[in-house]
Protein backbone atom coordinates (compact mmCIF):
# COMPACT_ATOMS: atom_id res chain seq x y z
CA UNK A 1 0.00 0.00 0.00
CA UNK A 2 1.28 3.42 -0.97
CA UNK A 3 1.77 6.05 1.73
CA UNK A 4 -0.04 9.26 0.91
CA UNK A 5 1.87 12.53 1.09
CA UNK A 6 -1.43 14.38 1.53
CA UNK A 7 -4.60 12.85 2.93
CA UNK A 8 -6.78 15.80 1.88
CA UNK A 9 -6.58 17.87 -1.30
CA UNK A 10 -8.40 20.74 -2.96
CA UNK A 11 -8.59 20.67 -6.76
CA UNK A 12 -9.33 23.91 -8.63
CA UNK A 13 -10.95 22.93 -11.90
CA UNK A 14 -11.54 25.56 -14.55
CA UNK A 15 -14.93 25.44 -16.23
CA UNK A 16 -13.05 25.58 -19.50
CA UNK A 17 -11.57 22.16 -18.70
CA UNK A 18 -15.03 20.71 -19.39
CA UNK A 19 -15.20 22.14 -22.92
CA UNK A 20 -13.10 19.45 -24.55
CA UNK A 21 -13.15 19.55 -28.34
CA UNK A 22 -16.42 21.41 -28.77
CA UNK A 23 -15.27 24.92 -27.76
CA UNK A 24 -18.25 25.73 -25.51
CA UNK A 25 -20.37 24.09 -22.84
CA UNK A 26 -19.74 20.62 -21.45
CA UNK A 27 -18.19 17.86 -23.55
CA UNK A 28 -19.44 14.43 -22.40
CA UNK A 29 -16.10 12.75 -23.15
CA UNK A 30 -14.16 15.36 -21.19
CA UNK A 31 -16.58 15.08 -18.26
CA UNK A 32 -16.10 11.31 -18.27
CA UNK A 33 -12.30 11.69 -18.42
CA UNK A 34 -12.15 14.22 -15.56
CA UNK A 35 -14.52 12.09 -13.47
CA UNK A 36 -12.29 9.04 -13.98
CA UNK A 37 -9.19 11.02 -12.96
CA UNK A 38 -10.93 12.20 -9.79
CA UNK A 39 -12.06 8.63 -9.13
CA UNK A 40 -8.43 7.46 -9.29
CA UNK A 41 -7.41 9.99 -6.62
CA UNK A 42 -10.47 9.16 -4.52
CA UNK A 43 -9.66 5.45 -4.62
CA UNK A 44 -6.22 6.19 -3.16
CA UNK A 45 -8.03 7.33 -0.02
CA UNK A 46 -7.51 11.07 -0.52
CA UNK A 47 -10.26 13.29 0.89
CA UNK A 48 -10.94 15.40 -2.19
CA UNK A 49 -12.77 18.70 -2.57
CA UNK A 50 -13.20 20.40 -5.94
CA UNK A 51 -13.73 24.10 -6.66
CA UNK A 52 -15.19 24.39 -10.13
CA UNK A 53 -15.34 27.38 -12.43
CA UNK A 54 -18.01 28.41 -14.92
CA UNK A 55 -16.08 30.05 -17.76
CA UNK A 56 -17.22 27.45 -20.27
CA UNK A 57 -20.79 28.72 -19.88
CA UNK A 58 -20.57 32.38 -18.89
CA UNK A 59 -17.87 34.91 -18.17
CA UNK A 60 -18.96 37.81 -16.00
CA UNK A 61 -16.20 40.01 -17.36
CA UNK A 62 -17.63 39.74 -20.88
CA UNK A 63 -21.12 40.72 -19.77
CA UNK A 64 -20.43 44.43 -20.13
CA UNK A 65 -20.70 43.96 -23.87
CA UNK A 66 -24.31 42.91 -23.26
CA UNK A 67 -25.01 45.85 -20.97
CA UNK A 68 -25.33 43.65 -17.88
CA UNK A 69 -24.40 45.22 -14.54
CA UNK A 70 -21.24 43.87 -12.89
CA UNK A 71 -22.93 42.38 -9.82
CA UNK A 72 -25.60 40.68 -11.93
CA UNK A 73 -22.92 39.32 -14.24
CA UNK A 74 -20.99 37.95 -11.27
CA UNK A 75 -24.12 36.17 -10.06
CA UNK A 76 -24.65 34.71 -13.52
CA UNK A 77 -21.07 33.42 -13.52
CA UNK A 78 -21.56 31.83 -10.11
CA UNK A 79 -24.72 30.11 -11.37
CA UNK A 80 -22.65 28.72 -14.27
CA UNK A 81 -20.35 27.13 -11.69
CA UNK A 82 -23.37 25.40 -10.14
CA UNK A 83 -24.31 23.95 -13.55
CA UNK A 84 -20.76 22.61 -13.87
CA UNK A 85 -20.80 21.31 -10.30
CA UNK A 86 -23.98 19.38 -10.93
CA UNK A 87 -22.58 17.92 -14.14
CA UNK A 88 -19.42 16.84 -12.32
CA UNK A 89 -21.50 15.29 -9.55
CA UNK A 90 -23.47 13.38 -12.16
CA UNK A 91 -20.28 12.15 -13.85
CA UNK A 92 -18.78 11.03 -10.55
CA UNK A 93 -21.91 9.38 -9.19
CA UNK A 94 -22.30 7.49 -12.49
CA UNK A 95 -18.99 5.72 -11.82
CA UNK A 96 -19.66 5.09 -8.16
CA UNK A 97 -17.97 8.06 -6.49
CA UNK A 98 -20.21 9.51 -3.76
CA UNK A 99 -20.37 13.27 -4.23
CA UNK A 100 -22.00 16.33 -2.67
CA UNK A 101 -22.34 19.78 -4.21
CA UNK A 102 -22.27 22.74 -1.84
CA UNK A 103 -22.99 26.36 -2.67
CA UNK A 104 -23.38 29.71 -0.95
CA UNK A 105 -26.61 30.26 -2.90
CA UNK A 106 -29.81 28.89 -1.39
CA UNK A 107 -30.92 26.17 -3.77
CA UNK A 108 -31.59 23.25 -1.49
CA UNK A 109 -33.47 21.27 -4.14
CA UNK A 110 -30.22 20.73 -6.07
CA UNK A 111 -27.29 21.48 -3.74
CA UNK A 112 -26.47 21.72 -0.07
CA UNK A 113 -25.69 25.05 1.55
CA UNK A 114 -21.99 25.53 2.14
CA UNK A 115 -21.26 24.78 5.79
CA UNK A 116 -17.62 24.13 6.59
CA UNK A 117 -18.29 21.48 9.20
CA UNK A 118 -20.68 19.67 6.87
CA UNK A 119 -18.07 19.68 4.11
CA UNK A 120 -15.49 18.23 6.49
CA UNK A 121 -17.99 15.57 7.57
CA UNK A 122 -18.61 14.56 3.94
CA UNK A 123 -14.88 14.36 3.28
CA UNK A 124 -14.46 12.17 6.36
CA UNK A 125 -17.25 9.90 5.10
CA UNK A 126 -15.41 9.36 1.82
CA UNK A 127 -17.43 11.71 -0.36
CA UNK A 128 -15.99 14.11 -2.90
CA UNK A 129 -17.27 17.63 -2.16
CA UNK A 130 -17.77 20.03 -5.07
CA UNK A 131 -17.88 23.74 -4.23
CA UNK A 132 -19.87 25.79 -6.73
CA UNK A 133 -21.44 29.23 -6.60
CA UNK A 134 -19.03 30.41 -3.93
CA UNK A 135 -18.63 29.58 -0.28
CA UNK A 136 -19.91 32.89 1.08
Residues in the chain: 136
**Residue 64 pLDDT class (50, 70, 90 cuts):** confident
Return the pLDDT at 1: 53
Question: Residue 18 falls within a domain, yes or no?
Answer: yes
Question: Residue 2 falls within a domain, yes or no?
Answer: no
- Residues 6 or more apart from 102 whose CB is under 8 A from it? 111, 112, 113, 114, 115, 118, 119, 129, 130, 131, 132, 135
pLDDT: is 112 or 66 the higher one? 112
For position 96, which CATH number holds?
Answer: 3.40.1160.10
Maximum Cα–Cα distance for the chain, whole Å?
56
Question: Residue 1 falls within a domain, yes or no?
Answer: no
Domain that holds residue 55: 8-132
Question: Residue 3 falls within a domain, yes or no?
Answer: no
Question: Residue 117 falls within a domain, yes or no?
Answer: yes
Tens digit of each residue's pLDDT (9 = 90 or more) over 70-116: 888 888 999 999 999 999 999 999 999 999 999 998 899 999 999 99
Question: Residue 54 falls within a domain, yes or no?
Answer: yes
Q: Please check whether residue 87 is in contact with residue 52, taking contact to mean a CB–CB distance below 8 angstroms.
A: no
Q: Give how many domains the chain has, as a whole number.
A: 1
Amino acid sequence: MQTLTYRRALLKLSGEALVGEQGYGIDANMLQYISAEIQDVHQLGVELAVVIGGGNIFRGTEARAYGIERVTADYMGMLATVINGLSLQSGLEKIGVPTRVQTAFEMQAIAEPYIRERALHHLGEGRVVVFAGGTG
